[in-house]
Structure 1
Amino acid sequence: MKPSANALYWEASYEIVLNLIEAYPDADLDSIGLQQLQEYIVALPNFADDPELANDGILSEI
């Protein structure tokens, strides 16, 4: 199976942020915890990476 051109992976932090802003316009993404941030990211419809690969460093960068 070929990955979608719009698929999101952990290393695409800028694209993830843009998608989060669109998906959660009322959320203050700067003030949520890392666990909530991970839940938001994994719930994005085009997120295609392994949720288990996330760590505090990756999430803090986003």
Structure 2
Amino acid sequence: MELKWIDVQEIAIELCDARPDVDPTQLRFTELRQWVLELDGFSDDPDHCNEKILEAIQQAWIDEAE
């Protein structure tokens, strides 16, 4: 699966699976951004990320973890 920044829900699911011991409410955006870039299948331009996208990914991860 090829992931892009707009695939917020899919990214959150992948992060939840890859890092089950992480509390997504305690993440710094710099850490979150790096983890997204490291996901298998992620293939978008790192410069296309912004705070709004990271907030959406973080919230989707929080929702997924509940």
TM-score, normalised to structure 2's length?
0.81
Unaligned runs of at least 5 residues, structure 1: 1-5
Tell me how far apart the structure 2 counterparts of residues 42 and 53 of structure 1 sit (CA, whole Å). Answer: 11
The residue correspondences of 1:5-16 to structure 2 (distance < 5 A) are 6-16=1-11
Q: Deviations over 1:6-60 (max 9, x none)?
A: 1110001000000001111111112101110001100001111111111111111
Structure scoring higher RCO (CA < 8 A, sep ≥ 6) equals 2
- Counterpart position of 1:45: 40
Amino acid at match of 1:40: W
Identity of aligned residues (%): 33
* Counterparts of 2:25 and 2:11, CA distance in 1: 14
Question: Runs of 5+ in structure 2 lacking a partner?
Answer: 58-66
- Higher share in helix: 2
Match of 2:23 in 1: 28
TM-score for the superposition, normalised by structure 1: 0.86
Q: CA RMSD in A?
A: 0.7
